[in-house]
Structure 1
């Protein structure tokens, strides 16, 4: 019988598609905030060594696909990411740099065999949301 305690050396991969939405779904992400968010998300992907990670930033939300390290809980990652975004917005000189988020981000796991399709979907978010609203997209995923 395998002990769960011995599995910390495992090579398992937990990919998560996150969707962080601004408070009240307001279009608070202007071009300067979009630039800071893009830089921050790109740095997070690079720090985690996620060669397949990707993101898309829109005016009221962003999508992020990352492989969650086994030693970080989703909640800890969420808190770290929000703090990193806030620090980067403040250091960018944006006097109105604060972004308020909905209480909980939307998130779901992505299987390895769906990774390429999920990555492509995230990279086409600008186009996708011309035809499908974020609310419709989230309903499609059962959220």
Structure 2
């Protein structure tokens, strides 16, 4: 092959520090817009972003020249820096240290997109911790308790 090709869909999930309910409906569009901007800066195509007051979900194509760790570090660090510079929240804004990043089959992109865009409805019945545990079990990862 003379050219490298890749198409890796990623469903990423991360929470606000201590799962504080900082992402109110009023600022949610700004938060999602900045996360989108950070992903675009990393040359990642963004499909959709969703979430509730204490966490976000992102569906994007990973730039083949970037590692997952570098992308997540940039989007979390760049966004929280902007939120604090502009005083988006009354208190200091920070993301939790960890994150989840899961590959998504092309055939499952529509289902994951619908799931991400329906977060408010989904979280009327399921807590973030329950959702987190389900992801760990689904992907065969150890279930550790997050703070």
Question: Residue 135 in 1 paired to residue 102 in 2?
Answer: no
Residue from 70, 75, 78 that aligns with 1:81: 75
Q: Does 1:58 align with 2:52?
A: yes
Aligned partner of 2:96 in structure 1 is: 102
Q: Report the counterpart of residue 72 of structure 1 in structure 2.
A: 66
Runs of 5+ unmatched residues, structure 2 = 142-147
What TM-score, normalized to structure 1?
A: 0.80
Unaligned runs of 5+ residues in structure 1 are: 1-5
Q: How many residues align?
A: 136
Conserved? CA contact 2:23–2:54, under 8 Å: yes
Structure number, greater radius of gyration:
1
Q: What is the TM-score of this pair, normalised by structure 2?
A: 0.78
Deviations 1:96-143, CA, capped at 9 Å, x for gaps: 463222221112111111111101110001100111112222222225
More helix by percentage: 1
CA separation of 1:72 and 1:97: change in aligned 2, threshold 3 A: farther
